[in-house]
Structure 1
Amino acid sequence: MGVFERFLSAWVGLAIIAGTLLGHLVPSVFAWLSKAEFAQVNLVVGVLIWLMIYPVMVQVNFAAVTQIAREPRGLILTVVVNWLIKPFTMTVLGVLFFKGVFADFIEPETANEYLAGVILLGVAPCTAMVFVWSQLTRGDANYTLVQVSVNDVIMIFAFAPIAALLLGVTDIFIPWETLLLSVVLYVIAPLLLGIYTRQEITKKAKLRHIEPESSLSLFNTKMKPWSIIGLLMTVVLLFGFQAEVLFEKPFDIAMIATPLLIQTYGIFAITFVIALLIKLPHRIAAPACLIGTSNFFELAVAVAISLFGLHSGAALATVVGVLVEVPVMLSLVWFANKTRHWFH
């Protein structure tokens, strides 16, 4: 399993290639799999992401969650970056590229839709994959859970007003089914099973007079291969679903990806520098930086489709966000791990 972890980026690269080729060669299979969705959430991808998240939830110790009040800076940093910085920097970059740099290469109407799509991504902070990135950086599972939970609560109230302001429209349709299903599927359900699993492991360890932490560590070691398999299969599916778009509109995808890449690395850099300045410990700083850079793409895609249509430029832009996220986030995970010694 050590080989898998050491060369995870290479496996993800191969998964991207495999997903793209398979989606192009056998599109009917991916078309069938893509129909297994409810409220814009693909249930197959949901199960795979759930497989990645579940082992992280087993590590959550509610006795330790109460101690987060003693270290509020990481939570404050997450809220400030996600809601007071990220949506607005994404809007500025979108305008710069779609109204300026790329204006000669795309129609004004298409440019407006691409801009709307990247704005929706910027207003939707991640719910699910954050747990995976946190685990890969050895982040504090308890703290990450609280950060994600607070984000979800804020999103219920802040997503519509901020999106409406930045899109310049007055009536934003919020797909509550998508939002609520994602929170249940990616946070509540794996958390409840994680709590139950942790209690059972602890109970059995005590009966056998074994240290509970060592039993929990052994369980995590056994589950880690499944988490990585879940990640790789998710990548295959995501790229397989969009294979035809990748082949048909490579230049448009490159144009959309440009501001998204700058936004992702830029927001990470801002959060990273602030985390260093306020002297956050790495176990809190790394997840805080990664939460701010990743997106809740299910919500962004659902809103883009409801506002602009399934085949709109806005929907395409949110999909490109999905394709860009995994490889980019892995590069940031690598950087966060390499700079661990910079933190306290």
Structure 2
Amino acid sequence: MKLKLKFLDRYLTLWIFLAMAVGIGLGVLFPQISSLVNGLSIGTTNIPLAIGLILMMYPPLAKVDYSLLPMAFKDKKVITISLLLNWIIGPILMFILAIVFLRNEPDYMTGLILIGLARCIAMVIVWNDLAKGNREYAAFLIALNSIFQVFSYSFLVWLFINILPSELGLANYNVQVSIGEVTESVFIYLGIPFLAGYLSRKFFIQTKGLQWYTRKFVPAISPITLYALLFTIVLMFSLKGDKILQLPSDVLKIAVPLVLYFVIMFFFSFFINGRLKVPYEKNVAIAFTATGNNFELAIAVSIALFGIHSPQAFVGVIGPLVEVPVLILLVRTSLWLKARYNS
């Protein structure tokens, strides 16, 4: 049976553009929306937005089967390659691209770094299935990345934003973040949905069964991520009416390093694994796990640290807008490579 992207996923780039347009339209028609949004805040936390961001993270984390983790460590070669690609090579590559393309735009540079540190846990299964990869391998690599993300994201943000730019002498870069604030954001926007996803999976499988959970519950909650993402985008862009003429050039400026990142990570991963004689089905699972990013987390942390108006949050929104068409092309590329694999 030929696999296809679901309707909502296939046109994600279009939905994001429409959400931007709706947001800008609301901002122009109702300029008072800014004070209304700010009035729904407690301290620096906007309540509706916080709820939306947590809901955005919940479905992908509810899909993760953590019982697969012990199996992951049986194939030490594959796990070592995956961890190296996801947690060392990927972040360093995005850091380098951010410096090369955005060193004179420190806020955008920070936003790109935050994306590079957030490993994908949502769309990997989709890309993997379309490319005829090993679903079980993709599933436990996602489980592994979920655990690593909870415990390492705060440290990596501190290292790549506070320490490395100053050590490299980037004179224009004066962005600093508090590791305490990052940890708090990760706890709220990753920890809460992580715990909710784990507990709901455990509870519903025990009471309703695995088949009901995977065939009924997961499909029912999956669209919540998209709806929450679009809600966040509409809200963000309703506050950006004054920058409407600047937006197209900024989108392009951010899109170029993102496209390069996706392409480099995919081909580097694919060919390294090929040289190591990793079977195609496992290779694809590793390649797409390493190539994708968790834009939901990057957006949530950017908003929590820098605010909904921030350039960092804007970069996070551009991420999925660029990712979907590029990874669809990479899926087609992987299927073309499959016919020549090990030949």
Q: State TM-score, norm by structure 2.
A: 0.74
Q: In structure 2, what is the equivalent of residue 120 of structure 1?
A: 110
CA distance in 1, matches of 2:29, 2:327: 32
Question: Judging changes above 3 Å, is the alpha-carbon distance between structure 1 residues 326 and 61 closer, same or farther for their aligned structure 2 residues?
Answer: closer
Q: In structure 1, what is the equivalent of residue 89 of structure 2?
A: 81
Which of 293, 299, 311 does residue 291 from structure 1 map onto? 293
Any residues of structure 2 matched to 1:122-161 within 5 Å, and which? 122-125=112-115, 130-134=120-124, 136-137=126-127, 140=139, 141-149=142-150, 151-155=152-156, 157-159=158-160, 160-161=162-163
Which of 53, 78, 94 does residue 49 from structure 1 map onto? 53
Any residues of structure 2 matched to 1:181-330 within 5 Å, and which? 181-205=184-208, 211-246=209-244, 250-251=245-246, 253-279=247-273, 281-291=283-293, 296-297=298-299, 317-330=311-324
Query: What secondary structure does 1:123 align onto?
Result: helix
- 8 Å Cα contact 1:134/1:286 also seen in 2: yes
Letter in 2 for 1:244: D
Tell me the matched-pair count: 309
Question: Which whole-Å deviations, capped at 9, do the CAs of 1:105-161 have from their partners, x for residues lacking one?
Answer: xxxxxxx5x2x2233224323677944444653653313414534651541551311
Which of 60, 65, 69 does residue 64 from structure 2 map onto? 60
Identity of aligned residues (%): 16
Question: Judging changes above 3 Å, is the alpha-carbon distance between structure 1 residues 45 and 304 closer, same or farther for their aligned structure 2 residues?
Answer: closer
Query: What secondary structure does 2:222 align onto?
Result: helix
Asked whether 1:331 is paired with 2:321, we answer no
Query: What secondary structure does 1:168 align onto?
Result: coil
Query: What secondary structure does 2:114 align onto?
Result: coil
Q: State TM-score, norm by structure 1.
A: 0.74
CA distance in 2, matches of 1:43, 1:177: 20
Deviation of 1:339 (Å): 4.4
Deviation of 1:294 (Å): 8.8
Which of 24, 29, 35 does residue 28 from structure 2 map onto? 24
Deviation of 1:30 (Å): 4.0
Which of 176, 180, 183 does residue 183 from structure 2 map onto? 180
Query: What secondary structure does 2:293 align onto?
Result: helix
Deviation of 1:298 (Å): 5.7
Question: Judging changes above 3 Å, is the alpha-carbon distance between structure 1 residues 37 and 135 closer, same or farther for their aligned structure 2 residues?
Answer: farther
Question: Judging changes above 3 Å, is the alpha-carbon distance between structure 1 residues 336 and 221 closer, same or farther for their aligned structure 2 residues?
Answer: farther
Q: CA RMSD in A?
A: 3.6
Deviation of 1:336 (Å): 4.5
Query: What secondary structure does 1:321 align onto?
Result: helix
Q: In structure 2, what is the equivalent of residue 90 of structure 1?
A: 98
Of residues 277-286 and 167-176 in structure 1, the stretch that sits farther from structure 2 once superposed is 167-176
Question: Which whole-Å deviations, capped at 9, do the CAs of 1:267-305 have from their partners, x for residues lacking one?
Answer: 111101112113353333223212298983565577779
Unaligned runs of 5+ in 2: 129-137, 274-281
Deviation of 1:169 (Å): 7.8
Deviation of 1:15 (Å): 1.7
CA distance in 2, matches of 1:323, 1:54: 18
Question: Judging changes above 3 Å, is the alpha-carbon distance between structure 1 residues 12 and 122 closer, same or farther for their aligned structure 2 residues?
Answer: closer
Q: In structure 2, what is the equivalent of residue 99 of structure 1?
A: none
CA distance in 2, matches of 1:42, 1:21: 21
Q: In structure 1, what is the equivalent of residue 134 of structure 2?
A: none
- 8 Å Cα contact 1:137/1:333 also seen in 2: yes
Which of 5, 14, 29 does residue 10 from structure 1 map onto? 14
Question: Judging changes above 3 Å, is the alpha-carbon distance between structure 1 residues 40 and 254 closer, same or farther for their aligned structure 2 residues?
Answer: farther
CA distance in 2, matches of 1:213, 1:10: 33
